[in-house]
Amino acid sequence: MTTPKRPWYEGASYHITARGNHRNDIFRDEEDFQVYLTMIEEALLYYANNNYQIMTYCLMDNHVHLMVKTYTKPLGLLISRMHSIYTKYFNKKYNYIGHLFQDKYFSELIEDDKQMLETSRYVHLNPVKANIVEKPEEYQVKLDSGGV
């Protein structure tokens, strides 16, 4: 049975969360974080012509948060490309077999400025809530507000 298509609205912004299968780590070392960021950049270039904008992101060991604005193409194209390429990299590097990501990614439509601010705050405070750092700015490469 196929998964029903997610609603997509041109020009809409979304909060994306993707977790490792069985809550396992999807990033095991610093190189993995860098490769994922490179995969984002490559996917954005692949779908050039201003189709997507990464507004902010937070990469945790076992999951990712992305805030993405879509323009002319559905969100699923970008996420699918990023995750399939990253999964191939991860599987080869770690001789891993099976699904890297748990289910399909979660997406939430951001409907107004208040929700945009609350979502951004949630994404930025994720490493603080997880007791990894005391302040979001201490998380450095894995957290960004300027997008990719």
- Give the DSSP letter of residue 98: S
What is the pLDDT at residue 147? 58
User: In the prediction, which pLDDT does 91 show?
Assistant: 97
- The whole-chain average pLDDT of the chain stands at 91
Residue 48: the pLDDT is 86
Residue 100 has pLDDT above 60, yes or no: yes
The answer, yes or no, to whether residue 25 has pLDDT greater than 90, is yes
pLDDT at 102 over 80: yes
CATH of 13-136, one of 1.10.600.10, 3.20.20.150, 3.30.70.1290, 3.20.20.70: 3.30.70.1290
Tell me the CB-side half-sphere exposure of residue 112, using CA atoms within 13 A.
1
* pLDDT given at position 40: 94
Contact 110, 67 (CB under 8 A): yes
3-state DSSP assignment of residue 30:
helix
Measured distance CA(68)–CA(108) in Å, rounded = 10
pLDDT in tens, 57-96: 999 999 999 999 999 999 999 999 999 999 999 999 999 9
Rounded to two decimals, what is the model's pTM? 0.89
